[in-house]
Structure 1
Amino acid sequence: MLAMFALLRTFSWQDLRHHPWRSAAAVAAVMLGVALAFAVHVINASALDEFSQAVRAVNGQPDLEVRAMQGPLPEALYERLATDPQVARASPLLELSTLAQAGDATTTATAASPARIPLRVLGADALLLPTMAPALMPRAWDTADRFAMFAPATVFLNTAALQALGLSTAAPAQLPQIMLYAGLQAPLNVQVAGTVMAGGAPLAVMDIGAAQDLFGRAGQLSRIDLQLLPGTDRAAWERALRAQPDWPANVVLAHPGDAAQRISNLSRAYRVNLTVLALVALFTGAFLVFSVLALSVAQRWPQFALLAVLGATPRQRLVLVLAESAALGLVGSALGIALGTALAATALQLLGGDLGGGYFAGVQPALQWSAPAALVYGTLGGAAALVGGWWPARAAQLLPPAQTLKGLGTAASQAERGTVGITLVVGGAALTLAPPVFGIPLAAYVAIGMLLVGGIALLPWAMAKLLAWLQPLAARHALPLLALERARRMRGSAAIAVGGVVASLSLAVALTVMVSSFRGSVIQWLDAVLPSPLYVRSALGAGGSDAALLPAGFAEAVGQLPGLDRVHALRASPLQLSPTLPALMVLSRPLGDDPAQSLPLVGNALPVPAGRTGVYISEAVVDLYDLRPGMEWPALSESFRPPALDRKAQPAIFYIAGVWRDYARQTGAVVMDRAVWLRLTGDARTSDLALWPSEGADIGALQASIRALAATQAGRSGSNTPQGASDGGSRSGSSNDALVEFASSGAIRERSLRIFDRSFAVTYWLQAVAIGIGLFGVAASFSAQVLARRKEFGLLAHLGLTRRQILAVVAGEGAAWTAVGAMAGVLLGLVVSVVLVHVVNPQSFHWTMDLNVPGWRLLALCVAVIVSGTVTAWLAGRAAAGRDAVMAVKEDW
C-alpha cells in the first residue's frame, strides 16, 4: 500500500513538473476568483466598519434620538423632554452641511482661492458632550481662550477637516480663520480654536447657541439625544410619550444603532450583488480547472491504464485526480487571499470604500482583514477546484485499462434523455417567482445557478438530437461525415467541450444584457426628467440639505429676467418616516394637468378623488412601504402636520395616484405638485430652477444676470445679519460665480452616465475577468479533446488523409462545436439576463427596467469564442497530427 501511494504521488508530481503551464493556468483561475470575491468583501466590510465607528463617535451612545420627519425640531420640544422625570440627560444638536475654505475674505481676495471642501457643522451643548458623546468634546489649543468652546463664530475641527483644509493639527501661534458657505448667504468668517477626536468625514463642532446665531437658526434643532434614568423601560416610555395628546405626530424616536443599520441595509444589495459577480469568476474558474484536468487525464490515459495494471484500484485513481485538483485549489486559494488583500488595500487607498456605489462617500476606511472571512473564501476556492476536478477524476476511475492500453479510448456514451437538465431548468424557473429574503434575492441567485447547470446538463441530449438531424446532410461528403460520425459516437466528450463555451459565454451575455438594459433605461429616464435645457442651483451642491437651498423669492425674481420663457422651481426635501428605513425624498415641482408629461410613469395615472391630494411614488416606495396606486398614505399625511396643530386636525389626505421610475434615489421618492408643497409647508425655498431660455437669447448674458441677482440676494441677507453673527461671525463678500452654478441638460445627462459607468466599473472588470477565464477554458478544453486523439490522427494518416485534411477536420470540428456552444450560450445567457433584469434588480434595488439586447456586442462575443475555439483546435491538431501520431499507431503493431 505504501509503495502504491509513493508511486501515485510520484506520478502526480512528474505531471506537474513536465506541464507547469497547465497547473499554473488552473491555479490562476482559482486565484483570480478568490481574489476578486475576497477583495470585494474586505472593501465593503472595511467601509461599513469605518462608517459605523464614525456614526458612533459623532452620535455618541444615547438611549434614543428624537428627530423630525422633515425640517427642524422646535426648541420648545427640548425643554419638554429635558424636564421629563424619566430623562436623565437631553442633549440638543443642530446639524448643517456647508462648504469650507481656508483663510478669510482678505486672504482669499489677494491670493489664489484655496479649494472648498464639504464640511459638516455640528452645534452641541459642550457641557453635555463628556457624558453623551466624548469624541465630540472640544479640545482647545494652548493659544485659544479658555472659554473658546462657548465663543461665537468659533469651531473645533476633526483631523479629516484639518487635513482637507491644509491646517496643522498642532497648536498654532495664531488661531487660523476659515470661511463657511451655506446657500446664497455671504461666506461666514469663523476661527478654529482646537480639535475634536471624532473620525470620519470632515467635521466641525461648535456651541449650539453660537451655531444658531451664526446661521440664523434661532429656535431650531436637528435632533435631541436622550439618556433615560437607569431602570427605565424604554419601550414603555416611548409608548407613553407617543400616546400624549399634544405629542407632535411628525416626530420619530430612533435608536442609536439605526443610522448604521440603515446604511448597512441600503448598501447590502449592492454588496451582495458585487460578491455574487465576483464569484462568477470563481464559477468559470471551476470550468477551467475541469478543462485543465481533463487535458491532463486525457494525455495520461496510458499511464492511468498502466497504474491499473500495476494494482491501482479505481478508487485510488479517483482520489489521485481529486488530490491534484485539491492541491491546485489550495495553492490558488492561498494566492487569491493574498492578492485579494492587496487589491482591497489598493482600492481603499485610491477609490475609498464605496466601489462606485456612493454609499460611503467621504469615508476613507482602514483595511479590516478577517481570518474567518479569508477561511470562508479560501474554502470556496478549494471547493470550486474539487468540483472542477470531479468529472476528470470519474473518467480516470472508470477508464477500461485494456482498451486504453490498446489506444481504443473510452466507450461511446449512452443516449441522454435530459431528465436532470429539464428538472433543473423547470425548478430554476419556478424559483424566480419566490420573494426576496431580507431584501436579498437569494432564490433568484439559486435560480440562476440551476438554470446554468440545467442548461449545460441538457447539452448531451440536445447535441444528440442535433447530430441526428445533421447526419443526412453530411452523408455525401467524406470529411464532414467523418467529423460528424466521430462527434456522434463521442458526443459526451463534445458536450464537455461545448459546456465550457456555454458556461463562460452565458454569464458574459447575461451581464452584458443586464448592464446594457440598465444603461438604456437610465438614458430614457434622463430624457424624461430633464425637460428644460438649463438648470441652476446653489454652488454648495449638497442636494437635499437646507444649507444648499435657494432663498424664497429667488425663483420669482429669476422669472422676471429678460430672455426667459418660463421658470420651474424644484424642491427636494428629505423625509424620515421610519427610524429603521433610510430617509426618502419629497420632490415638489409643477405637475400641471397631465403628470405623465413631466414624470416617467409606470402605467397610467389614476384620477384623484375629491378631498384628496394626489402624490406619485417611486418604485422603491412601493416595495419599502408596501404601497400601491389607489391607496391613501396616512403616514405621509401625519408627517406634514405642523407641530402646533391638534392631533385631530388633518392638513392633507394623500392619495397615491401613480408610480414612476426613479434611478437616482434607491431609498424612494415622492412627487407632489409645487402648489401643494407651498400650501402645506409655506416654505418657498428651492433646490433647483429649471430654465427655458427664449429663442435666440444670449445664454452667457442670462447667466450673468442670474449671478448678479444671486449676489444681490446674498447682500440682502447680509443686511439682516442675526444677532450675534456680527460678534466674530461677520458676513463678507465673495465672488459672484461662487454663489450659483449652471448646468445644461446635456451636461447633467453626461455626468449622470459617467456616474453610472463608474458604479458599474467593477462589474465591467469582473465581466472581463470571467470572459478571459472562460476563453482560456475553451482553449484548454479543445486542447484536451484534440491531443487525446493522437492515435486516431495517426490512423487517418495511414488511411490516406493528408495532414492538411486532418487539420481541416479538426478546425471544422472546433468551429462547429464552438458555434453550437455560442448559440447555446447566447440562448442560456438571454434567459439568465431576463432573471437579472426582471427579478434580481427589482428585488435588490426596487426599480424596473426595459430589456435591451445589444446585438452587435453579443455578436462580437460569439465571434471571439468561435475564433478562439477554431484556432485552438487547429493549433492542437498541428501538435497531435505530426510524426508522433504516425509513430503512436506503430506502437500497437
Structure 2
Amino acid sequence: MALSRDDAARLGLKPGDTFKLDLGAASMPMTVAAILPEQANLSGLAITDIATAQEVLGRLGEIERIDLILTDAEAERVAAALPDGVRLEASAQRSNALAQMTRAFHTNLTAMSLLAMLVGAFIVYNTMTFAVLQRRPLLGTLRMLGTTRSQLFALVLVETLALALVGALLGVLLGIAVGAGLVQLVTRTINDIYFQLSVRSLHLAPLSLLKGIGLGLGVTLLAALGPALEAARSQPRDVIRRTRVEGQARRLLPWLAASGVLLILIGLGLIALSARSMGIGFLALFLVIVGTALLMPLAVHGFASLTTPLFGRLFGTQGRLAARGITASITRSGLAVAALAVAVSATLGVSIMIGSFRASVSDWLANTLTSDIYISAESSSGASRGGDLPPELADQLLALPAVEALSQGRSNRIETRDGPVLTLALESSTGQPRGFRFQGPTAADLWPGWQAGRLILISQPLAYRRQLQVGDDLELFTTSGWQSFEIGAIFQDYGSDSGTLILPRSLYAEKWDDPAVSSFGISLADEADADAVSQQVETLLAQLDITTSVQTNRAIRELSLDIFDQTFTITKVLRLLAIGVAFVGILSALMALELERARDYAVLRATGMTRGQLRALILIQTSAMGLAAGLFAIPLGLAMGDLLISVINLRSFGWTMPMQVQPQTLISGLVLAWLAAIFAGIYPAIRAARAVPARALREE
C-alpha cells in the first residue's frame, strides 16, 4: 500500500513498516510499499492495486467505478451498451455535487464578509469627513484663491483613492493572514458536516485578490462622495460655519427616512417575489439593513430630543448639554449610531438564528434518537455505504437481559436523477419505526405502504431542493436500473442539508442487493443503566473481535451539539470582526465630532467647566449614543433574525425552524453597543479636555 508523504509522516511510517488498517468491524495488517511524492497531492488516501483492495475489503469481483476518456459520440455508444444497474456519469457531475454541498456554506460566509464591508463604509465616511473638517480653513482659502468646486471635489476623491489603494493592499495582506488562521475552522466545519477535507496550503487565486482590491476601492470611493460634496459645495464664507451644514442636514432627515422606508418595502417585496433565489434573498436583507440605517439619523434626533429632560434630571447640566450635542451634530452622531447599530444588529440577528437553530436541533435529536444505545461500523475506504456488521450480532444483542428491542439500519448514497442522496434503510424489531416528525400531510396508508415498499420517506431539505411533495414520484437507480417510488411523507431532519430518504431494509436489500447491516439501535428496559449496558455491549464486541463505535443516546446528543457549536465558530469570529470595524467607525465619528465642537468645548472651559466635567460630558454623550445604537439594534436584529431563519436559512439548507428569542441575547446586544461607545469615547474625551481653550477660540 502506498501512502502520501504527509500521511506517512503523521503516522510515523516508512517503507517496509506494518500498520493495522481498521475496516469497519474488522482490521487487517498492511505493509507500506511506497511513499508518494508531495506533487501527487493525495493526502488522506491510501493507494493499492484492485486485487488487494477487493481482498482486503471482502468484495471479491466487485468494481465500483471505471474511469474513461470519451468523446461525446463515444459516450453515447457506451451508455447505450451498459447493462442494467450500471450508468455513465460525467466526472464534472461528481465535482458539481461536492460544490453544491458547500455552496450554501460559502454563500453565508460571503454575506458576513459583505456585512463587515458595509460597516466599513461608515468608517470611510467618518474618516474622510474628519479629514475635511480638519482642513476646512485650508479648503476655504483655496476657494478664495480661485479653486473651483469641481477641483475641490476631485482633490478629496483623489486623496481618498490614494488612501484606499494603500488600505486595500494592506487589507489583502491582512486578509491573507486572517484567512490562514481561519482556514482550520472552516476545514473542521466542512469535515463535521460534509466530507473529509485536508488543507495543506493556502490557495491564493489572483482573481480573488483583485476582487478584494476592487471592492475596497469601490466601497471607499462611494463612501467618500458625501465628504467630497461637502467640501466642494461650501462657499468660502461658510467653511467655518457648522450651523449651516447641520441646518441643511436636519432638513434632509425626513427625506432620508422616507428613502429608508422605501428601501425596506422594496426588500420585503423582493422576498415575496424571489421564490427560491439565494442571491435575491441576500439582496433583500441588504436593502432592509440599508433602509433601516437611513431611518436611524431621524430616530437618533428624536431619541436625543425626547431624552434630554431625562439626562438633565440624571446628570444635571452636563446631561442636557450631552443630549443636545447629539442633535446639534446629527450628521456625525446619526451616522455613528447607525454604523454601531447595524453591527450590533447583525450580531443579534445571527445570535437569534443560531440560538433558534440550536434549540431546534436539540429538540429534533431528543425526538429522533429513540434508542438508548447505538452501534455503528465505519465505512471502508471512503465507500459511500456504511461498514458491515455480522448478522448474528443481532441475536446476541437481543439475548442481553436489559435489551427490549433492536432496530437495524443500513446507510448508503443512492443516485437520483439530480445526484446522490443519503439513504437510510431501517428495520425495527417492534415493527413501525419511531422518531419521525412529519411536515405537512402524509399518505393515508403511510406505514403499511412503506412496509410494503410502495412509499418512501424524504427529508425536508430534499423536498425543498428538489421541489417534491407527498404523492410525487422519485426515481432511484437500483441494481436493475431506474425505478420510481412514491413519496409518502416529508419528515423534519437537520442531519443533512443535501437531503435524506428512508426505505424499509427489506426493500433496500432486494433492490440494491445489499442485505448487510451497518448500525444497530438498542432500546433498553426502563430500569436499565445505559452506561452499564454499553459496557456489556463493548465487552461482547471485543470478544467477537469487532471494532465499532458504541455510543449512548446522551453521548450522541452531546457530541452533536458540540459539533454544532464548532460549526458556528467561524461565524462568531466574523461577527467579532464586524463589531471591531464598528468600534473603529464610532471612534472616528467621535473624533470628527470632537473636532467640530472644539469651539463649543472651549467656550464651556472658558466659562468655568473643569476638564473632568468636560470629560464626563463627552462620556455621557457617547453613552447616550451607545444606548441609542443598542435600542435601535434590537428591532433590526429581530428582523434580521427572522429573515435569516425564514428566508436565508431555508434557501441555503432547506431547513425550517421557529424563531426563539432569549431575553439575555437582546440585553447582551444593548450592553455591547453601550460598552463599544464608552470605550470609543474615552480618547476623544481626554483629547478634548486637554485642548487649550484660547487656541480653539482664536479666529483668523
Query: Which bin holds the TM-score, normalised by the shorter protein?
Result: 0.7 to 0.9
Following the alignment from structure 1 to structure 2, what is the Cα–Cα distance between the partners of residues 866 and 488? 19
Letter in 2 for 1:322: L
Q: Corresponding residue for 1:223? A: 65
Following the alignment from structure 2 to structure 1, what is the Cα–Cα distance between the partners of residues 72 and 530? 66
1:451 pairs, out of 275, 282, 288, with: 288
Letter in 2 for 1:584: L
Q: CA deviation at 1:334?
A: 1.1
Letter in 1 for 2:589: S
Following the alignment from structure 2 to structure 1, what is the Cα–Cα distance between the partners of residues 105 and 488? 30
Q: Corresponding residue for 2:13? A: 167
Q: Corresponding residue for 1:555? A: 394
Following the alignment from structure 1 to structure 2, what is the Cα–Cα distance between the partners of residues 744 and 663? 20
Letter in 2 for 1:450: L
Letter in 1 for 2:124: V
Contact 1:618 1:661 in 2 (8 A): yes
Are 1:263 and 2:125 matched, yes or no? no
2:473 pairs, out of 626, 632, 646, with: 632
- The alignment partner of 2:520 has SS state of strand
Q: Corresponding residue for 2:666? A: 858
Q: CA deviation at 1:491?
A: 3.3
What is the correspondence of 1:459-608 to structure 2 with a 5 Å cutoff?
459-463=296-300, 466=303, 482=321, 486-488=325-327, 490-538=329-377, 545-546=384-385, 548-578=387-417, 581-590=419-428, 598-603=435-440, 605-608=442-445
Are 1:188 and 2:28 matched, yes or no? yes
- The alignment partner of 1:522 has SS state of helix
Alignment CA distance shift 1:337-1:802 (3 Å) = closer
Alignment CA distance shift 1:462-1:587 (3 Å) = farther
Following the alignment from structure 1 to structure 2, what is the Cα–Cα distance between the partners of residues 349 and 700? 34
Q: CA deviation at 1:813?
A: 3.0
Q: CA deviation at 1:670?
A: 0.8
Alignment CA distance shift 1:356-1:769 (3 Å) = farther
Following the alignment from structure 1 to structure 2, what is the Cα–Cα distance between the partners of residues 641 and 299? 77
Contact 2:378 2:386 in 1 (8 A): no
Are 1:285 and 2:131 matched, yes or no? no
Are 1:766 and 2:574 matched, yes or no? yes
Following the alignment from structure 1 to structure 2, what is the Cα–Cα distance between the partners of residues 316 and 794? 33
Q: Corresponding residue for 1:296? A: 131
Alignment CA distance shift 1:160-1:879 (3 Å) = closer
Q: CA deviation at 1:785?
A: 1.3
Q: Greater CA deviation, 254-263 or 387-396?
A: 387-396
Q: CA deviation at 1:284?
A: 1.9
Contact 1:834 1:851 in 2 (8 A): yes
Q: Could you say what the CA RMSD is over the residues aligned between the two structures, in angstroms?
A: 3.6
Q: Corresponding residue for 1:837? A: 645
Q: CA deviation at 1:774?
A: 0.8
Following the alignment from structure 2 to structure 1, what is the Cα–Cα distance between the partners of residues 209 and 421? 35
Contact 1:269 1:845 in 2 (8 A): yes
Q: CA deviation at 1:359?
A: 4.2
1:687 pairs, out of 515, 518, 531, with: 518
Alignment CA distance shift 1:481-1:537 (3 Å) = closer
Q: CA deviation at 1:748?
A: 1.6
- The alignment partner of 1:548 has SS state of coil
Contact 1:286 1:384 in 2 (8 A): yes
Q: What do residues 258-279 of structure 1 show as CA deviations (whole Å, max 9, x unaligned)?
A: 2222112222221222222223
Q: CA deviation at 1:842?
A: 1.5
- The alignment partner of 2:73 has SS state of coil
- The alignment partner of 2:91 has SS state of coil
Q: CA deviation at 1:840?
A: 1.2
Computing the radius of gyration from Cα coordinates, the structure with the larger value is 1
Q: Corresponding residue for 1:724? A: none
Which structure features the higher share of helix residues? Answer: 2
Letter in 2 for 1:585: T
Following the alignment from structure 1 to structure 2, what is the Cα–Cα distance between the partners of residues 463 and 157? 64
Q: What do residues 756-775 of structure 1 show as CA deviations (whole Å, max 9, x unaligned)?
A: 22222221111111111112
Gaps of 5+ in 2: none
Q: What do residues 77-110 of structure 1 show as CA deviations (whole Å, max 9, x unaligned)?
A: xxxxxxxxxxxxxxxxxxxxxxxxxxxxxxxxxx
Letter in 2 for 1:335: L
Contact 1:587 1:669 in 2 (8 A): no
Following the alignment from structure 1 to structure 2, what is the Cα–Cα distance between the partners of residues 883 and 206? 77
Q: CA deviation at 1:177?
A: 4.0
Alignment CA distance shift 1:663-1:511 (3 Å) = same
Q: CA deviation at 1:286?
A: 2.1
Alignment CA distance shift 1:355-1:282 (3 Å) = farther
Alignment CA distance shift 1:794-1:781 (3 Å) = same
Q: Corresponding residue for 2:583? A: 775
Q: CA deviation at 1:683?
A: 4.6
Contact 1:707 1:739 in 2 (8 A): no
Q: CA deviation at 1:798?
A: 5.1
What is the correspondence of 1:601-680 to structure 2 with a 5 Å cutoff?
601-603=438-440, 605-608=442-445, 613-633=454-474, 635-636=475-476, 639-640=477-478, 642=480, 654-674=485-505, 676-677=507-508
Gaps of 5+ in 1: 1-154, 170-174, 714-735
Letter in 1 for 2:209: A
Letter in 2 for 1:166: G
Q: Corresponding residue for 1:361? A: 196
Following the alignment from structure 1 to structure 2, what is the Cα–Cα distance between the partners of residues 656 and 834? 30
Aligned residues: 688
Following the alignment from structure 2 to structure 1, what is the Cα–Cα distance between the partners of residues 187 and 318? 59
- The alignment partner of 1:220 has SS state of coil
Q: What do residues 8-29 of structure 1 show as CA deviations (whole Å, max 9, x unaligned)?
A: xxxxxxxxxxxxxxxxxxxxxx
Are 1:388 and 2:223 matched, yes or no? yes
Contact 1:794 1:889 in 2 (8 A): yes
Following the alignment from structure 1 to structure 2, what is the Cα–Cα distance between the partners of residues 699 and 191? 39
Contact 2:261 2:295 in 1 (8 A): yes
Following the alignment from structure 1 to structure 2, what is the Cα–Cα distance between the partners of residues 399 and 442? 41
Contact 2:427 2:505 in 1 (8 A): yes
Alignment CA distance shift 1:455-1:541 (3 Å) = farther
Are 1:321 and 2:156 matched, yes or no? yes
Following the alignment from structure 1 to structure 2, what is the Cα–Cα distance between the partners of residues 164 and 494? 56
Letter in 1 for 2:117: L
Contact 1:542 1:548 in 2 (8 A): no
Letter in 2 for 1:383: G
Following the alignment from structure 1 to structure 2, what is the Cα–Cα distance between the partners of residues 473 and 708? 71
Contact 1:583 1:667 in 2 (8 A): yes
Alignment CA distance shift 1:309-1:355 (3 Å) = farther
Contact 1:590 1:673 in 2 (8 A): no
Following the alignment from structure 1 to structure 2, what is the Cα–Cα distance between the partners of residues 698 and 494? 62
Q: CA deviation at 1:528?
A: 1.9
Contact 2:379 2:387 in 1 (8 A): yes
Q: CA deviation at 1:237?
A: 5.7
What is the correspondence of 1:31-50 to structure 2 with a 5 Å cutoff?
none
Q: What do residues 387-438 of structure 1 show as CA deviations (whole Å, max 9, x unaligned)?
A: 332222222223343234467563413152322111111111122234478x
Q: Corresponding residue for 1:81? A: none
Following the alignment from structure 1 to structure 2, what is the Cα–Cα distance between the partners of residues 457 and 881? 32
Contact 2:411 2:422 in 1 (8 A): no
- The alignment partner of 1:584 has SS state of strand
Following the alignment from structure 1 to structure 2, what is the Cα–Cα distance between the partners of residues 502 and 702? 54
Q: Corresponding residue for 1:419? A: 258
